[in-house]
Amino acid sequence: MSNPNPPNTTGEYNFAPSMGETVLYSYGLCQIRRTALTQSHFEDARMATNIMMGRWSADGVNLWAVDLQCIPLVQGCTTYEVPSNTIVMLDAYYTINNGQQEIDRIMTPISRTEYANYPNKKQEGSPTVFWMDRLLAPTVTIWPAPNGQQAFFKYYRLRQIQDSSLRNAQNVEIPVYFLEAYALGLGYRLALSWAPERVPVLKPLADEAWDVATRQNRETANVYVSPMLNGYYR
């Protein structure tokens, strides 16, 4: 049975303020009127936004910034380049392509110390582990070295959040449920330079908004722990 008095709502989901609009709002939280803003205000806002996005990239797994990468494997080759905007690798596996179907095998991460303990780093076989060397130009090393039966190394990664710009009414790369955390976080950072008296007010509000947003920024699936995987690779 239909509702005889349906709510008078827009039916739209397009609210996506540009960075410029949010900067104006954040300065308003600092009690700085729009007519008082100068080029220096906007330059500080651009810098503060990108520094904050860097902090967010380092402060947890932002689900909207996770993607799947694929590296073609070469027999005997253990080390491969990784895009420089990769923060950390999450789940990884290699793929066997027998011409009819693709079969995936999970791999587990190891540390630099554990990899250094392997006596024969060129040993070939079915790879079971990977080590990401987190350099400015990062790499990933897998072991054992591919023996030619494996087609691809695939991994989910957390990547850097895209740069933010005030040009052309561009948006900041965040989902709608992070807009409040972004506006208040930016307002707090701008207050440090332009309205120090507002810092005690904005800091707890920014922290609260961040906590609310990050509670939604997580997967809801169950987690299962398998203590032994020895038979998996036989």
pLDDT single digits (tens) 9-58: 998 899 999 999 999 999 999 999 999 999 999 999 999 999 999 999 99
Round the CA-based radius of gyration of the chain to a whole number and report it: 24
| CA distance to 64, 81, 116, 165, 192, per residue, from 51 (Å) | 18, 26, 35, 12, 14
* Structure tokens that stand for 11 in this block: 């039916």
Distance CA 21, CA 2 (A): 39
Q: Residue 155 — φ and ψ, nearest 5°?
A: -150, 145
Mean pLDDT over the full length of the chain: 92
What are the CB-based long-range contacts (under 8 Å, 24+) for 199-202?
202/29, 202/30
Looking at residue 167, what DSSP letter applies?
G
Q: What's the pLDDT at 226?
A: 67
Looking at residue 101, what DSSP letter applies?
-
User: pLDDT, tens digit, for every residue of 182-221?
Assistant: 999 999 999 999 999 999 999 999 999 999 999 999 888 7
Region 149-159 average pLDDT: 95
Distance CA 182, CA 201 (A): 16
Distance CA 137, CA 134 (A): 8
Q: What's the pLDDT at 1?
A: 57
User: Tokens 């506006």 correspond to what residue?
Assistant: 183
User: Tokens 């996506």 correspond to what residue?
Assistant: 16
Q: Are strands 124-125 and 102-109 parallel, antiparallel or unpaired?
A: unpaired
* Beta strands, E only, 1-85: 66-72, 79-81
Distance CA 76, CA 102 (A): 21
Query: Residue 50 burial (CB < 10 Å; 0-12/13-18/19+)?
Result: middle
- The answer to whether the beta carbons of residues 57 and 173 sit under 8 Å apart is no
Tell whether the torsion through CA atoms of 206, 21, 56 and 31 is positive or negative.
negative
Domain range list for the chain: 19-61+163-216, 64-160
Region 117-123 average pLDDT: 95
